Amino acid sequence: MMFDLIMNYRFMQNALISAILSSVICGIIGTIIVEKKLVSMSGGIAHTSFGGIGLGYLLGIEPLIGGLLFALGASMGISYIKRNTNTNADTLIGMFWAVGMALGVIFIALTPGYPPDMTSYLFGDILTVSQSYVKVIAFLAVLVIVVIGSIFQYWKGYLFDDEYMRILGINTIMLEYLLYVLIAFSVVILIKVVGIVLSIALLTIPPAAAKIMSNNLKGIMSFSIIIGCITSVGGMFVSYYFNIPSGATIILLSIMVYFILFIFRKLIPAKE
């Protein structure tokens, strides 16, 4: 029956492919976010993008392009201001977060005509993903695999001890900006899938669950991709059959997997 659904409905094919591709992106970028402790930073980027989505509506351009520009601005801005002033990152993230949301609300209020429904941006809807959007996700997935995979040893060194990498003469500022750009792209891409509010969950729950099963960076990324695939594809079907919101279903399934693995590991401890 699942097979029939996929074979017969184009929107189901798009949803399935985007679920798998976003799991790849989340598995890799999410692991980095969790290990580098950039969870609140990523939440800040996601919420700042709401301002860009509002601006997109106001100017009559694709809202996600506006969202992406705001997300990139937030990631670069937080990094730059943190480096060049004594404001701490936590405070900056809070400010960007709130300003982004506030701008979004104002831009949408200023948009002429009937106000657009923002629910799909806030909470996502994987079943409405278009074919051209699937191509964008595919491009980003390939980009993430190449950028992270081609200099994996450097990323590992940077995540573990960026100061030491700096002492070795490695351009860690470039690595940091590159990482923040990838986070901004990933967060915006995920808006269609699970929405602004829940995107951070999809980036953090699978890696957290994967870390229960593996203790090396590549292993965590791989498990995280598998867990992401299971929960997002599973969530997609559950939401279709029960007619409930897909983003929230995917997140709740991820949390279930986390707890199942947590209990499993308590009962059967990992070998030394």
Partner 1 sequence: MDIIKLNGVFVRYNTDWVLENIDLTIKEKEFLSIIGPNGGGKTTLIRTIMGLNEPEIGELWVKEGLRIGYVPQFTRFDRSFPINVYDTIISGRLSSQIKAFSRFSTSDRRLADETITRMNLGRLKFKQIGRLSGGQLQKVLIARALVAEPDVLLLDEPTANLDAENKEEIYSILQEYNQEKTIVLITHDLEYVNDKKREIMVLNKKVIYRGETPQKHELACINGDMSGMINRSAEKDGGNDV
Q: Which residues bind partner 1 (CB under 8 A)?
A: 35, 37, 86, 150-151, 153-154, 156-157, 159-161, 163-171, 174-175, 211, 214-217, 219-220, 272
CB of 151 to partner 1, least distance (A): 6
Among residues 178, 215, 183, which one has the least CA distance to residue 202? 183
Pick the closer one to partner 1 by CB: 77 or 157.
157
* CB of 27 vs partner 1, minimal distance in Å: 14
User: Coil, strand or helix: which one is 1?
Assistant: coil
Select 4 or 163, whichever has its Cβ closest to partner 1. 163
101 contacts 214 by C-beta, under 8 angstroms? no
Least Cβ distance, residue 36 to partner 1 (angstroms): 10
In the complex with partner 1, the residue whose CB is nearer, 36 or 192, is 36
Q: Helices H, strands E: what count in the chain?
A: 13, 0
Could you give the C-alpha distances from 19 to 80, 169, 222, 250, in angstroms and in order? 33, 39, 16, 10
Rounded least distance, CB 118 to partner 1, Å: 38
Token pair belonging to 139:
């491009």
Cβ proximity of 123 and 8 under 8 Å: no
- Residue 173, token pair as written in the block: 């500022």
How far, in Å, CA of 167 to CA of 208, rounded?
30
User: In this structure, how many other beta carbons lie within 10 angstroms of the beta carbon of residue 65?
Assistant: 15
Of 76 and 178, which has the nearer Cβ to partner 1? 178
**Nearer CB in complex with partner 1: 160/241:** 160
95: Cα separation from own chain's centroid: 20
Q: Measured from the CB of residue 260, what is the shortest distance to partner 1 in angstroms? A: 21
CB of 267 to partner 1, least distance (A): 21
**In sequence order, which ranges of 111-130 are alpha helices (DSSP H)?**
119-123
Q: How far apart are CB 211 and partner 1 at their closest, in Å? A: 7
Cβ neighbours, 10 Å, residue 217? 17
- The residue (of 127 and 217) whose beta carbon lies closer to partner 1 is 217
Work out the angle between the directed axes of helices 195-213 and 246-267 (0-180°, nearest 10).
20
Q: Which is nearer to partner 1, 5 or 217 (CB)?
A: 217
